[in-house]
Amino acid sequence: MNRRKAPLLLAFVLLLAGSALLVFKTRPGPGASPETAPASTPATPRSQGFTAQGPWAPVDGEPGREAGLERPEKDLVSYLRSRYGARIREPHTQMRMLEELMRHFQKLNPTGWEADLLAALQQAFPELYEELAQRLRQRLDYEKWVKEHHAELKDKPAAERRAAMWEERHRLFGKEVAEKIWVAELRNLAVADALTAIDALPGASVGERMAEYKKGLEKAYGENAQAYVQTHQQELMNRFLDLGSVQKDLGTLPPAQRAQELRTIRQEMGLDEEALRRWEELDRVRDTRWEVGSQYMSEREALAQQYSGPELEARLTELRARYFSDEAQTVAEEEQSGFFRFTRPRQWGRN
């Protein structure tokens, strides 16, 4: 048997015999319950190719997502052709496949994974083998560069760090290929820039800012904008609601008008009627909680002005039990640590 293929065949046996199924992290779909939504989503780009977890971020900007390599339907070659074959000539698709294969073979054979990976490429896509092997070398050279310059990059301002990384990407991959590989990052940056501009619009209403936001998404994602919004409703809605200008405007509105503005924002993000009703119910629960919290803090402050020491603690224990019941102990522990949940800023539509 060809010794070059032996590790690959061994990988097939191990893969089919004992690999654990990978647990997928699902996104909330259209109409998903707001109770299961993320607590927060940053308004900054998710991936700059330089993270606290490591110097290399996956090209799709979604660290931690596997494509299912650990459970191929027949064998590795069939899986690669089925999953990537239709778009294998696209640099972005090539890089996603290479990263998946790297994770897979590095687990199976930490010292000889590269030869196994190349053997898999040779069998799956022989007509593109040289191009894919070159892409792998470029990928490894870039990772090496980022690791070597990690400290230097970390100390740079974000804009300078991005510029340095893009300069190296252009050098290693070529400008056209690099921009195709990191297309998700470029789009995400475009949306972030649009949000910055929207936040700075003088005198714009919430509706006008939302209209500009949708234009920014359409510009960044083109004909795929609607599909992208549909699969990223929660994240995109949160990024808009996190704008200081939007929060300021919502905070100045009467409750009924604010509720209508929140409903319109969610409609613009494609939520269906059932989801809108669930969000409105959650808003009512949150409003009630904040009202209770405001009353509690007022009484707490009054007690703190009258009492101290054990007497104050005893009265606060009674107060927390009256307002929070089963949560009273949790609130007490938070306050002992210096955290007062109802002194945080109210983020309309977010908490």
Residue range 240-272, pLDDT digits in tens: 999 999 999 999 999 999 999 999 999 999 999
Do 102 and 117 form a contact (C-beta atoms < 8 A)? yes
Residue range 105-129, pLDDT digits in tens: 999 999 999 999 999 999 999 999 9
The residue ranges of every structural domain in the chain are 6-24+51-175, 182-271, 273-351
Residue 229, pLDDT above cutoff 90: yes
Mean pLDDT, all residues of the chain: 84
Residue range 280-326, pLDDT digits in tens: 999 999 999 999 999 999 999 999 999 999 999 999 999 999 999 99
Residue 87, pLDDT above cutoff 60: yes
202: which 2 tokens? 């003088």
Can you state the percent helix, strand and coil of the chain, rounding each to 5? Answer: 70, 0, 30
- CA distances 97 to 121, 123, 132, 289, Å, are 10, 14, 10, 47
Residue range 149-189, pLDDT digits in tens: 999 999 999 999 999 999 999 999 999 999 999 999 999 99
Do 181 and 95 form a contact (C-beta atoms < 8 A)? yes
Q: How confident is the model at residue 234 (pLDDT cuts 50, 70, 90)?
A: very high
Residue range 6-30, pLDDT digits in tens: 444 444 333 333 433 333 333 333 3
